[in-house]
Amino acid sequence: MGETPAPSLLDDKTARRLRGFGLPGILSILIIFMGNVVLLPGSALLVLLWARLSGTPWRELGFVRPKSWIRTIATGILFGFALKFLMKAIVMPLLGADPINQAYHYLAGNLSAVPLTLYLLIAGAGFGEETFFRGYAFERLGKLFGDSIVAKISIVLLTSIWFGLAHYSVQGVAGTEQATIVGLVFGTIFAFTGRLFMLMIAHAAFDLTAYGMIYWNLETAVAHFVFK
């Protein structure tokens, strides 16, 4: 994906309205919010369509081509794995979380669920959530709050809480706590770098590591790795 998109498919006036916060802009936000109701990662795909129609540069959403794909992929995989292990072995036990993720324990040894789960973790979470919660949310809130240090801190906090709450209905309090912390980590990195690709890979690696722990019944062992 290049640094800037092709010229908007719409006239300049309409494109500006989509980038703004009048009725067209608000409607586009609401439609994007509803995208995942239809299909995962629907919201992320609608973000890309919105960028194309509004003439928003890809860079403003974090789609910046890495200098080295190999280094970016390797960094993302290692970071995602390490972060999940840290969360499972140290952070979540300190917060009193159940070693077993009850919401997804049905995936343990469930071979038939593997294809759909891999799709949801890679496309829905890695690509979808990072495009929406980091790229799009940071771009929209940045236009409202500005680019000061206080504004960036506020955006990181707001998107992290939002990201955490989005996990509550399925994963409860522990899932919300974990997602909020991960949102703070990923959001802070994005605030400094403005780049999404490493975070997408790290997010997918994080979730795939969590999935591996569940599938092979390693959750309790990892949760007790430090605190016996």
Which stretch of 8-22, 34-48, 137-151, 154-168 has the lowest confidence by average pLDDT?
8-22
Stated length of the chain: 228
Are the beta carbons of 185 and 156 closer than 8 angstroms?
no
Report pLDDT for 12: 87
- Sorted by sequence, the CB contacts under 8 Å of residue 77 that are 6+ apart come out as 201, 202, 205
d(CA 76, CA 119): 18
Q: What is the mean pLDDT of residues 54-73?
A: 96
Question: Phi, psi (5° rounding) for residue 56?
Answer: -75, 125
Q: What is the mean pLDDT of residues 25-37?
A: 95
Q: What is the mean pLDDT of residues 8-35?
A: 91
**DSSP H helices in the chain:** 12-19, 23-33, 35-38, 42-54, 69-86, 92-94, 114-119, 137-145, 149-165, 168-193, 197-215, 219-223
d(CA 158, CA 4): 27
pLDDT at residue 83 is higher than 90: yes
Q: What is the mean pLDDT of residues 12-38?
A: 94
Q: What is the mean pLDDT of residues 165-171?
A: 96
pLDDT at residue 3 is higher than 60: no
pLDDT at residue 2 is higher than 60: no
In the chain, % of residues over pLDDT 90:
92
pLDDT at residue 1 is higher than 60: no
Report pLDDT for 199: 98
Task: Give 180-205 pLDDT, tens digit per residue.
Answer: 999 999 999 999 999 999 999 999 99
| 90: nearest Cα among 155, 181, 186 | 181
Extents of the domains making up the chain: 1-61, 69-223
Grouping H, G, I as helix, E, B as strand and the rest as coil, residue 148 is: coil
Q: How many CB atoms lie within 10 A of CB 10?
A: 15
d(CA 128, CA 134): 10
Task: Give 91-121 pLDDT, tens digit per residue.
Answer: 999 999 999 999 999 999 999 999 999 999 9
pLDDT at residue 6 is higher than 80: no
The burial of 169, by beta-carbon neighbours within 10 Å (0-12 exposed, 13-18 middle, 19 or more buried), is given as: exposed
Q: At 47, list the tokens.
A: 């973000």
CA distances from 138 to 120, 147, 175 (A): 23, 10, 22
Cα-to-chain-centroid distance, residue 88: 19
| 97: nearest Cα among 211, 175, 18, 187 | 175
d(CA 111, CA 115): 8
